[in-house]
Structure 1
Amino acid sequence: MTESTIEANGITLCHEEFGDPADPPLLLVMGLAAPMTWWDDDFCEQLAGRGFRVIRFDNRDVGRSQRMSGRTDLARAYLLRSAPYSIADMADDAAGLLGALDVERAHVVGASMGGMIAQALAIRHPARVRSLTSIMSTTGSRLLGHPSPRAAASMLAPQPRSRAEYVELLVKTFRLIGSPGYPFDEKRMRERAERTFDRGVNPAGAARQLAAILSTRDRTAALRRLNVPSLVVHGARDPLVHVSGGRATARALRADLDVVPGMGHDLPEDVWPRVLAGIERVAGRRP
């Protein structure tokens, strides 16, 4: 496993691979302000062990991928659907990455904002997607998937100014939005926060990504037109994206729906076997 950069869709993306290059490719897409390393190394290794060439990458404006430009007005993004770039643009990044890696088609797994990007990838580039797994995400409809007031406020917290402040903020945030039905692993979360900070954080980029989410349009009708093997995974106790978002996604895609009791807006290690088995199961189907 060695990180490398590649030109895709006119920008530079940082990516990394696990497993046998001859195995079927599987693209992992992460969420808001989250680098590819939030797909835990062990999770990626276990996916690779199930027979996939696993590709993870930093979205634009996060980690070691290209930092973009443009001022962000979140109210304007929501009310006028105006943002420096869109979820569709980020889906085109993912398609460009696959093309740059000479991957014709891949199984695609996205979490949170990454689920939105994965859905948009399947809509905009259906020939690229062999199967789709959308985790703790939603359709873009403003009628469902709403965060709790406390979870929404956590997304607008003042940006930390130091490594120590960043670590404390991430621990606090995931105590709030994480999975109440599973033990909170503070040590693991602190290590994740430290690694994230050391790879590079980009508050302005996080704001642009949030604007992309707020400005997105409802994908429900387009999802209904897809014919791709699909799985939707959602936590029954997700405070950031209410489970109604996952249920609506599954209805639109005619997908299998796995609502995980006690799971919030994260992937506790105890849930991995269930999620990995689901990804493997849906990847084995044909449209």
Structure 2
Amino acid sequence: MKLRGTSPVAEARVAHQVEGPRDAPALLLLQGQANSHDWWQHVRPLLTERFFTITFDYRGTGDTARLQAATGKEDETLWSTALFAEDAAAVLAALDVESAFVYGTSMGGRIAQELAIGRPALVRALVLACTTPGGSLATERDREVRLALSSPDRTARLRTTADLFYTAAWIAAHGGYDGVPTHLFSDPTMSRRDANRHLRVSAKHDAASRLDRIEAPTLILHGAEDRFAPVVNAEVLHERIMGSRLHVHPTGRHGFFDEFATESTGLVTDFLVPSHT
């Protein structure tokens, strides 16, 4: 089953996509900042035999942005990870899903935190990958990384992004920078305004004082070589989320879950299926 649809939420209609057996356990996939569901194109096929996978395009991305543009109006709602978590809840409701496993990566992990805190009955178990708690507990990328990402040279920015997401060996295996898939590097159809709004959504996330409210069994995944969201963030999440498990990939960078998709997705499946179904 591979279907698309829309879910009504405040001030917008959110485009969602489902794939996998409808009678399998529901798994909500939450992608990173400024990305559509295309983020999951390497990982999702590894999940659809075991799970009814659900994605949606965040406000400002993919089909959700196109639906909004068709109305001729701007979505003037104040965007936040909490609002995007409510969008996720609306998608689950539209699909008659009473609870789901939730796998969030990068900004999607921050949205997943808000969903688990604000709507605990919806979250059967939680996977947080390459993400941060926000607020006073977060460790941000260093100044060198920030400067490289703001370079006026587009080619230099793309190479920096590739290096932050993938190992040198993986880049070489794809024939160098020109052959690197870019599906994790933001939705190319996004407007600059909406991309900036996403940047603020991610930057303003703060679950630091509320992580102890997460009741769902939680697996935390991270790459040891992640300079985009340093691995110390995973250690903090592990310390603050009671009973959580932590696995750090020894060479992974920010896109470790994509580069090492078979291994990482296997960890996710092993965590979700035997213990919580």
Report the TM-score when normalising by structure 1.
Answer: 0.82
Gapped runs of 5+ residues in structure 1? 71-82
Paired residues of 1:29 and 1:110 also in contact (CA < 8 A): yes
Report what 2:100 is aligned to: 106
Aligned partner letter, 2:95? L
Please say which of residues 201-210 and 270-279 is displaced more in the overlay: 270-279
Gapped runs of 5+ residues in structure 2? 69-73
- Superposed counterparts of 1:29-178, under 5 Å: 29-40=30-41, 42-49=42-49, 51-66=50-65, 69=75, 84-156=78-150, 168=155, 171-178=158-165
Q: Give the 3-state SS of the residue equivalent to 1:232 in structure 2.
A: strand
Q: 1:127 to 1:104 in 2, by over 3 A?
A: same
Q: 1:85 to 1:268 in 2, by over 3 A?
A: closer
TM superposition shift of 1:140: 0.9
TM superposition shift of 1:257: 0.5
TM superposition shift of 1:235: 0.7
How far, CA to CA, are the matches of 1:231 and 1:181 in structure 2? Answer: 27
TM superposition shift of 1:260: 0.6
How far, CA to CA, are the matches of 1:205 and 1:118 in structure 2? Answer: 21
How far, CA to CA, are the matches of 2:196 and 2:149 in structure 1? Answer: 10
Please say which of residues 25-34 and 221-230 is displaced more in the overlay: 221-230
Q: 1:128 to 1:179 in 2, by over 3 A?
A: same
Q: 1:143 to 1:221 in 2, by over 3 A?
A: closer
Report what 2:190 is aligned to: 201
How far, CA to CA, are the matches of 2:258 and 2:162 in structure 1? Answer: 15
Report what 1:180 is aligned to: 167
Listed one character per residue, the Cα deviations across residues 126-184 of structure 1 (whole Å, up to 9, x for unaligned) are 000011000100111334321022332355456x9xxxx6xx57742432312336411
Q: How many residues align?
A: 263
Paired residues of 1:221 and 1:252 also in contact (CA < 8 A): no
Q: 1:131 to 1:139 in 2, by over 3 A?
A: same
Q: Give the 3-state SS of the residue equivalent to 2:47 in structure 1.
A: helix
Q: Give the 3-state SS of the residue equivalent to 1:55 in structure 2.
A: strand
Paired residues of 2:134 and 2:204 also in contact (CA < 8 A): no
Listed one character per residue, the Cα deviations across residues 23-71 of structure 1 (whole Å, up to 9, x for unaligned) are 111000011111110111x42111112x10011121111122145545x
Paired residues of 2:133 and 2:233 also in contact (CA < 8 A): yes
How far, CA to CA, are the matches of 1:242 and 1:188 in structure 2? Answer: 26
Q: 1:148 to 1:194 in 2, by over 3 A?
A: closer
Q: Tell me which of 227, 231, 235 is aligned to 2:223.
A: 235
Report what 2:71 is aligned to: none
Report what 1:74 is aligned to: none
How far, CA to CA, are the matches of 2:178 and 2:96 in structure 1? Answer: 38
Please say which of residues 259-268 and 98-107 is displaced more in the overlay: 259-268
Report the TM-score when normalising by structure 2.
Answer: 0.84
Q: Give the 3-state SS of the residue equivalent to 2:23 in structure 1.
A: coil
Report what 1:79 is aligned to: none
How far, CA to CA, are the matches of 1:24 and 1:170 in structure 2? Answer: 39
Paired residues of 2:148 and 2:157 also in contact (CA < 8 A): no
Match status 1:264 vs 2:271: no
How far, CA to CA, are the matches of 1:193 and 1:139 in structure 2? Answer: 21
Paired residues of 2:166 and 2:259 also in contact (CA < 8 A): no
Q: Give the 3-state SS of the residue equivalent to 2:115 in structure 1.
A: helix
**Identity fraction in percent:** 26
Listed one character per residue, the Cα deviations across residues 76-114 of structure 1 (whole Å, up to 9, x for unaligned) are xxxxxxx93211111111111111111110000011000
How far, CA to CA, are the matches of 2:78 and 2:148 in structure 1? Answer: 23
How far, CA to CA, are the matches of 2:22 and 2:83 in structure 1? Answer: 27
Q: 1:153 to 1:98 in 2, by over 3 A?
A: farther
